[in-house]
């Protein structure tokens, strides 16, 4: 899939159900990919959420679980994917591609990609590689690995970054915006740090509204 790395899905193993979400394991030829799936009643639209370099399921300030609680009732399935090998960009990218393939395989023809920090670059890259991806949301994104952002167009891109981010400067998202084609939107949030905690409600509103409009 990416940089010569081959990965093939060989099965899907359902796990426990917790608070309306189902744990899923995507079995692949390169190892298991864990997913938490918040399924909407109807098929068609979904969002795949990936985290930063250390992996995990929750995203910045628990944004991804909150999306999982709210978006399915509005018709959008939320899948929260954890990497097999965090911080290994090529491996994380094929994980994201496997996640999109899984969602397409269960009936979702339109998939948004959401990534935070390192995951922003993963989401942007994956968005250029599959027609199933309809839009990308990159939160506090790094620039490294996202040099292909110009290839996303005409898929809409939303960039959100804190103006007080001391881990990755908001200039990273500004550079992505400058390189991207249309349609593109950038939101720099004054006084907000890398995990966007100071504006968690605003970020949720921005992301959820974008998903409803663009997925």
89-101 per-position pLDDT tens digit: 999 999 999 999 9
Helix (H, G, I), strand (E, B) or coil at 134: strand
Residues in the chain: 215
Considering only CA atoms, which of 115, 95, 93 is closest in space to residue 161? 115
* pLDDT above 70 for 175: yes
Bridge partner list, 135:
112
The pLDDT of residue 105: 95
Q: What is the CATH number of domain 9-214?
A: 3.40.50.1820
205 alpha carbon, distance to own chain's centre? 16
List CB contacts of 101: < 8 A, sequence separation 6 or more: 9, 130, 132
- 45-50 and 110-116 as β-strands: parallel, antiparallel, unpaired? parallel
* pLDDT above 50 for 1: no
pLDDT digits (tens, 9 = 90+) for 159-172: 999 999 999 999 99
Average pLDDT, the chain: 95
Distance set, CA 3 to CA 29, 49, 73 (Å) = 16, 22, 38
* pLDDT above 50 for 3: no
- For 115, the token pair is 């990534």
Strand blocks (E) in 62-148: 76-81, 110-116, 133-139
**Burial status of residue 204 (CB atoms within 10 A of its CB: 0-12, 13-18, 19 or more):** middle
pLDDT digits (tens, 9 = 90+) for 100-152: 999 999 999 999 999 999 999 999 999 999 999 999 999 999 999 999 999 99
Which residue shows structure tokens 């740090």?
193
Average pLDDT over residues 29-57: 97
Average pLDDT over residues 204-213: 98
Bridge partner list, 162:
189
The pLDDT of residue 19: 79
- For residue 159, which phi and psi values (nearest 5 degrees)? -115, 130
The pLDDT of residue 4: 52
Distance set, CA 72 to CA 46, 68, 141, 148, 154 (Å) = 9, 7, 26, 31, 26
The pLDDT of residue 15: 87
- For 135, the token pair is 């839009």
The more confidently predicted of residues 206 and 17 is 206
């Amino acid at each position: 899939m990416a940089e010569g790395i081959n990965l093939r899905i060989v099965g899907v193993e359902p796990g426990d159900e917790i608070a309306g979400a189902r744990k899923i394991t995507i079995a692949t030829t390169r190892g298991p990919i864990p997913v938490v799936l918040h399924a909407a009643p109807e098929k068609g639209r979904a969002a795949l959420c990936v985290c930063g370099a250390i992996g995990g399921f929750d995203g910045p300030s628990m944004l991804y679980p909150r999306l999982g609680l709210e978006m399915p009732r509005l018709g959008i399935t939320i899948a929260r994917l954890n990497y097999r090998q965090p911080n290994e960009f090529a491996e994380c990218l094929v994980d994201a591609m496997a996640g999109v393939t899984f969602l397409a395989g269960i009936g979702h023809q339109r998939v948004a990609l959401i990534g935070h920090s390192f995951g922003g670059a993963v989401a942007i890259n994956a968005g250029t590689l599959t027609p199933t991806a309809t839009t990308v949301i990159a939160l506090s994104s790094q620039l490294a690995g996202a040099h292909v952002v110009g290839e996303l167009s005409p898929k809409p891109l939303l960039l959100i970054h804190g103006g007080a981010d001391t881990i990755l400067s908001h200039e990273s998202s500004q550079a992505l915006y400058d390189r991207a084609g249309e349609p593109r939107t950038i939101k720099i949030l004054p006084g907000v740090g890398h995990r966007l905690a100071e504006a968690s409600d605003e970020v949720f509103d921005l992301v959820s509204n974008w998903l409803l409009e663009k997925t």
